[in-house]
């Protein structure tokens, strides 16, 4: 039995513009399981990002509940939410928002520093992550001095500094060329194979094949889901066909 990291009940999110109410997420009941690489797909405007933001405390939902490891976060105060985000969650987005005045090392280490940890252990972990992501020799460069792919890998290293229980990624390869995108996807795949739980929004079928569970979001509801084995290079072609068929059945 897989353990649920996140459980939503009747999750709703609406936006109001003037006197109009736009319901984007409509009573979603969804479990996100530990160890899964969960993919959220759907057409543009289906509510993928909105769902991800609601699941990950990036945005407030309008109604229903979200539990994180059995704790209902609906009534959490700002401080509890901040602690949850810092210590248990990580975020990777398309717009790579590294701090321009810090070098890559500092960007990765920054969120790791805390009163509770010796600085040296954070520095060591930062070096280990930079090495793992192939960034060791660029660690003293500034974001303006490296490529988009290097920036995105730095953003992933930064996301891992506090050993998150889950990584949320919204179109993490959207701003990268295809070979850089592949590097980033390979990395996320490797992390997942090591046990890291990931939820990723994408509109890219190749990116989607990296997941072992694909949710299809349509008009604010989960309209279908597909389970796959874990990704490896030898089954990549075959699973692309399976995912393609799943999506064409949804008129994607």
Residues at the site binding ligand ADP, with contacts judged by CB under 6 A? 15, 17, 22, 24, 42, 44-50
Please state the closest distance from residue 153 (CB atom) to ligand ADP, in A: 24
Contact, 10 vs 36, CB < 8 A? no
Q: Specify the residue, 49 or 173, whose C-beta has the smaller distance to Mg ion.
A: 49
Q: HEC states along 168-224?
A: EEECCCCCCCHHHHHHHHHHHHHHHHCCCEEEEECCCHHHHCCCCEEEEEECCEEEE
Determine the Cα–Cα distance for residues 91 and 94; give it in Å rounded to an integer. Answer: 10
209 touching Mg ion, by CB under 5 A: no
- Picked from ligand ADP, Mg ion, none, the partner binding residue 50 (CB below 5 to 8 A depending on kind) is ligand ADP
Q: Specify the residue, 47 or 181, whose C-beta has the smaller distance to ligand ADP.
A: 47
Look at the block and give the residue holding tokens 């992550």. Answer: 129
Please state the closest distance from residue 170 (CB atom) to ligand ADP, in A: 8
Farthest-apart Cα atoms in the chain, separation? 55
Residue nearest to Mg ion (CB): 49
In the structure encoding, which two tokens stand for residue 26, read together?
Answer: 């409509």
Determine the Cα–Cα distance for residues 180 and 197; give it in Å rounded to an integer. Answer: 22
49 touching Mg ion, by CB under 5 A: yes
Please state the closest distance from residue 220 (CB atom) to ligand ADP, in A: 8
Please state the closest distance from residue 62 (CB atom) to ligand ADP, in A: 12
- Picked from ligand ADP, Mg ion, none, the partner binding residue 207 (CB below 5 to 8 A depending on kind) is none
Burial class for 19, CB neighbours closer than 10 Å (0-12, 13-18, 19+): exposed
Please state the closest distance from residue 47 (CB atom) to ligand ADP, in A: 4
Rule CB under 5 A: which residues touch Mg ion?
48-49
């Amino acid at each position: 039995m897989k353990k649920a990291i996140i459980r939503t009940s009747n999750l709703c999110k609406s936006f109001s513009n003037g006197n109009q109410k736009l319901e984007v997420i409509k009573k979603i009941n969804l479990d996100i399981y530990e160890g899964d690489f969960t993919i959220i797909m759907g057409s543009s405007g289906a509510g993928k990002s909105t769902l991800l933001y609601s699941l990950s405390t990036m945005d407030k939902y309008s109604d229903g509940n979200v539990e994180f490891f059995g704790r209902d976060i609906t009534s959490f105060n700002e401080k509890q939410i901040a602690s949850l985000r810092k210590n248990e969650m990580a975020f990777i987005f398309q717009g790579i928002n590294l701090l321009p005045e810090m070098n890559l090392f500092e960007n990765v280490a920054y969120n790791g520093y805390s009163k509770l940890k010796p600085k040296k252990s954070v520095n060591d972990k930062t070096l280990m992550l930079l090495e793992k992501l192939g960034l060791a020799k660029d660690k003293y460069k500034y974001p303006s001095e490296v490529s988009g792919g290097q920036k995105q890998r730095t953003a992933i290293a930064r996301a891992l500094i506090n050993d998150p229980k889950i990584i949320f990624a919204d179109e993490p390869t959207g701003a990268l060329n295809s070979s850089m995108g592949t590097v980033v996807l390979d990395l996320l795949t490797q992390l997942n194979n090591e046990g890291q739980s990931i939820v990723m929004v994408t509109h890219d079928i190749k990116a989607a094949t990296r997941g072992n569970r694909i949710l299809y979001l349509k008009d604010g509801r989960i309209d279908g889901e597909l389970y796959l084995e874990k990704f490896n290079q030898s089954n990549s072609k075959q699973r692309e066909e399976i995912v393609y068929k799943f999506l064409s059945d949804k008129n994607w």
